[in-house]
Amino acid sequence: MEDNITEFDYKSEYTTLNLGPTHPATHGIFQNILTMDGEIIVDTEQTCGYIHRAFEKIAEHRPFYQITPLTDRLNYCSSPINNMGWHMTVEKLLGVDMPKRVDYMRVIIMELARIADHLICNSVIGVDVGALTGFTYVFQWREKIYDIFEEVCGARLTTNIGRIGGMERDFSPACIKKIREFLQEFPRILREFTNLLERNRIFMDRTVGVGAISTERALKYGLTGPNLRATGLDYDVRVMSPYSSYNDFDFVIPVGINGDTYDRFMVRQQEMWESHKIITQALENLPEGKFFAEVPEFYLPPKEEVYNKMEALIWHFKIVMGEADVPVGEVYHSVEGGNGELGFYLVSDGGRAAYRLHFRRPSFIYYQAYPEMIKGSTLSDAIVTMSSMNVIAGELDA
C-alpha cells in the first residue's frame, strides 16, 4: 500500500476550468483554460483570435485614408490615439510637417482619449473587486469626453478622427467650451474616485501584491505602457521619441515599484492627472494658424471649394479614388497608446495601398505574460490581474 501512496497521481485531481470565451469577468472575448488545484491556478493556456478581422490583409487592399477606420477598432477604448498614430505614420512616410496648431489639437484629443481609456480600465478593476459605484460614476465622465469627440468629428466610440495631413475641421467654440468645462470639473470627479479606491482597505487588500511582475521579466515579455511603468521603468514613447510636439509640454512619467495590480492602478490614476495637465497646457497655448498642412494629395479640400473650383474637385476625386502617389519606402512609427507602445510598420511600394502594414498591438504582446503573472494565485486574483492589464480584445486579435 505504501507504493500506491507515492505513486498517487496528483494531476488527476486537477480541475480544468474554462474562463471564457464569453465570460462577464474577462471584459472581452478571451479564453483561458485554467488548470486548477482547488482554487489555486496551476497552469493556464490562452486562446485568442475570436474576433480576428484580418485588418492587415484588408489594409493591403485599401487606400490609406480608408485604413483609419480599421485602426479605430484596435483599442476601441482610445481609438483617437490609434487614428492619430496612423495619420502620423503616413505623414512620416510622405515627409510632411504639421503646423503647431494641428499638433496641439491632436495632443488635446489624444490625452482626452487616454483619460477615457484609463477611467474605464481603473473603474473596471474596482468592479472586479466588488465596487460598482465608482464605475457607474466615472462612466458619465467618459461620456463627457465622448461628447467632446462628437463635437470634433461627429462620432463617439469609433471616431475616425482627423485626416492624413491635419484635422478635418477646427475646434468649434462649443467644443472649446466643452473641453474647458471638462478640465474644470474633472479634477473634482477624479479626486472623488481616488477617495473611493486609492486608500480603501478592501481594495488594497485585494490588489497589493497581486499579479506582480519584475522589470526584467516585463522587458523580456515586451510589456509597454502603464504595465511596464508600474514595474518601475519610465519608458514612455511620448518622452523617448516625442511626436506631435509632446516635448513642448511639462509633465512627468509616473512609475510604480512592485509591478502589481495596485501599482498599475496607481500609475493610471497619476497618468490621468498628467493628461489633465497636458490638456490644460495645450489649450492655454493653442497656437493660431491652420488646422491642416499643405498635402493636397491626401487632405480632402473643403466641400465649398470642391463644388466651385476645378482644382479642388480634381484633388477630391483623386483622393477618394485612391489615386494619390506615395513614396516607396518603409517606416515605423509608434505612439503611446492607452495601454502601451502602439506601432505601425508600413511598407510602401508606391502603389495606391500599403504593400504591408503591421500593427504592433501592445496588448497582443504583453498578454503573453499573463500565465506567469497568475500562476499560483487564486481565480479571483487572476480576474483582477487581467482587468488591471487593460487587455482589449479588439487589439489582441486585430
Partner 1 sequence: MNEVNNAYLLKELQEQFMDAIHSVEEPYGMLTIEIDRVQIVPLLNFLYQHPVIQMQFLTDLCGLHFPDNKGKELSVVYHLHSFTKNIRLRIKCYMPIEAPQINSITSVYEASNWQERETYDFFGIEFVGHPNLKRILNVDEMDYFPMRKEYPLEDQTRTDKDDKYFGR
Among positions 23, 73, 92, 352, the unique one binding partner 1 when judged by CB under 8 A = 92
Q: Determine if 14 is a binding residue for partner 1 (CB under 8 A).
A: no
Q: Determine if 73 is a binding residue for partner 1 (CB under 8 A).
A: no
Q: In angstroms, what is the minimal distance from the CB of 56 to partner 1?
A: 7
Distances (CA, A) of 192 to 184, 195, 383: 14, 5, 25
Distances (CA, A) of 116 to 76, 135, 223, 275, 276: 11, 12, 21, 11, 11
Q: In angstroms, what is the minimal distance from the CB of 88 to partner 1?
A: 12
Among positions 104, 203, 235, 251, the unique one binding partner 1 when judged by CB under 8 A = 235
Element containing residue 31 per DSSP (H, E):
strand 31-37
Q: How many residues bind partner 1 (CB under 8 A)?
A: 37
Instruction: Return the C-alpha cell found at 199.
Output: 486608500
As a whole number of angstroms, the distance between CA 169 and CA 276 comes to 23
Q: Determine if 341 is a binding residue for partner 1 (CB under 8 A).
A: yes
Site string for partner 1, 282-301 (x = CB under 8 A): --------------------
Running DSSP on this structure, what letter comes out for residue 22? B
Q: Determine if 314 is a binding residue for partner 1 (CB under 8 A).
A: no
Question: Cis peptide before 21, with omega less than 30 degrees from 0?
Answer: yes
Q: Determine if 265 is a binding residue for partner 1 (CB under 8 A).
A: no
Q: In angstroms, what is the minimal distance from the CB of 278 to partner 1?
A: 21
Q: Determine if 368 is a binding residue for partner 1 (CB under 8 A).
A: yes
Residue corresponding to grid cell 510589456: 223
Asked whether 143 and 99 are in contact (CB, 8 A), the reply is no
Among positions 111, 360, 391, 395, the unique one binding partner 1 when judged by CB under 8 A = 360
- CA-closest candidate to residue 72, choices 166, 159, 147, 164: 159
Binding residues for partner 1, rule: CB under 8 A, are: 48-49, 52, 54, 56-58, 61, 92-93, 219-222, 233, 235, 240-241, 329-332, 334, 341, 343, 345, 347, 356, 358, 360, 364-365, 367-369, 397-398
